[in-house]
Amino acid sequence: MAHAWPDNRFTALVGCAHPIVQAPMAGAVGPAMAQAVIAAGGLGSLPCGMITPEKALADAATVGGGPLNMNFFCHSLPEDSDPTAWRAMLAAYDADYAPDYSAPPPPVRAPFGEAMCAVVEQVRPAAVSFHFGLPDERLVGRVRASGAKVIGNATSVAEAVWLAERGCDAIIAQGLEAGGHAGWFLPAHPAARLGIFALIPQVADAVQVPVIAAGGIGDARGIAAAMMLGASAVQMGTAYLHSPESLISAAHRKALASEAARRTVATNLFTGGNARAIPNRLIDDLGPVNGAVPAYPDGAAVIAPLRRAAEAKGDPAFTPLWSGQSAPLCRSMPAAELTRTLAGEALALLNGDAR
């Protein structure tokens, strides 16, 4: 590579060549994608929020040759969520889809705890990123002692400052453009969420550690722009969803390439959490946000039978078609080739080659 990145604070921190983090998209990313990104000089990520510690350990063991990021959730489990009203609303679809309510529920999204911390201590990844805040101080200390850099996720300046005060080594500035779940954890009005364009420089001004921009970055123009705004790296999800390594369904892949991907919405219908998705039948029928859905993550279990029944027919009517606002900018390309291409194009833009 003829050019150098204008900011090497993040690449030096975790030891990768390019300031590109492949987003840990739970359910859509396995070790093959992480390995491909690492091989191309980016930071590959393994999403561990929806798998068992055994699976996380086994997956991580297959990845090597460069820095790995392991990602975990740190939500609090709701104590008193009541699924009754939401079940009743979804019953309107039973005649069409005949869901099997006796099937076992999907595994609950579990917050990071002792067992996963032991996995981190065994794997010793270069980085560990947390979504929805941080685990307790003792667990963070053990992660740090394992040698991993600790990365937090902020959707506001207040969250970024909170994470920096607790010793995070780098902070993701997640704009509202991001696909999947918004990682917010401090009280805030959803209407006040920031676009990444305003968020990056405000976070960069508020904290001393490197900032990783996330949300709405689909191509090299976005990487170059994020660095102009003060980011030291980017985290890209939707771009990698398009790659052959992504584990999404054919219906999800088709939706990403459809006109509907131009009008993603923040919805709570699939899990109870605020997450960006491409509109499908459920969102079109009920609107993107409904007060009857039990709090995250309990909403996921309620819709599971209906989702399974529809998916068995290849119908994504109740499937969360996660996507950021960048879908129309993305190209379908193997993850390693995508990483190298994005890096080369962004370096050219940042160095004025394309002018």
Footprint of its own copies (CB under 8 A): 6-7, 156-158, 175-177, 188-189, 191-192, 194-199, 201-202, 205, 215-219, 221-222, 224-226, 228-230, 262-266, 279, 288-289, 324-326, 328-329, 349-352, 355
User: Smallest distance, Å, CB 89 to its own copies?
Assistant: 19
* Residue closer to its own copies (CB basis): 89 or 158: 158
User: Smallest distance, Å, CB 278 to its own copies?
Assistant: 10
The Cα 210–Cα 204 span in angstroms is 8
User: Smallest distance, Å, CB 4 to its own copies?
Assistant: 9
Judge contact between 122 and 57, C-beta under 8 A.
yes
User: Smallest distance, Å, CB 279 to its own copies?
Assistant: 8
Q: Which of 244, 200, 295 is nearest to 29 (CA)?
A: 244
* Residue closer to its own copies (CB basis): 35 or 153: 153
Matching residue, tokens 């993603």? 264
Q: Which of 33, 89, 109, 100 is nearest to 311 (CA)?
A: 100
Judge contact between 297 and 272, C-beta under 8 A.
yes
* Residue closer to its own copies (CB basis): 3 or 253: 3
Instruction: Say how far residue 309 (Cα) sits from the centre of its chain.
Output: 26
The Cα 30–Cα 45 span in angstroms is 9
User: Smallest distance, Å, CB 276 to its own copies?
Assistant: 10
* Residue closer to its own copies (CB basis): 39 or 329: 329
Q: Which of 131, 90, 30 is nearest to 300 (CA)?
A: 90
Judge contact between 28 and 5, C-beta under 8 A.
no
User: Smallest distance, Å, CB 315 to its own copies?
Assistant: 22
* Residue closer to its own copies (CB basis): 100 or 205: 205
Q: Which of 231, 105, 240 is nearest to 180 (CA)?
A: 240
User: Smallest distance, Å, CB 220 to its own copies?
Assistant: 9
Q: Which of 238, 236, 220 is nearest to 5 (CA)?
A: 220
* Residue closer to its own copies (CB basis): 35 or 271: 271
Judge contact between 151 and 129, C-beta under 8 A.
yes
Q: Which of 308, 305, 301, 317 is nearest to 82 (CA)?
A: 301
* Residue closer to its own copies (CB basis): 57 or 176: 176
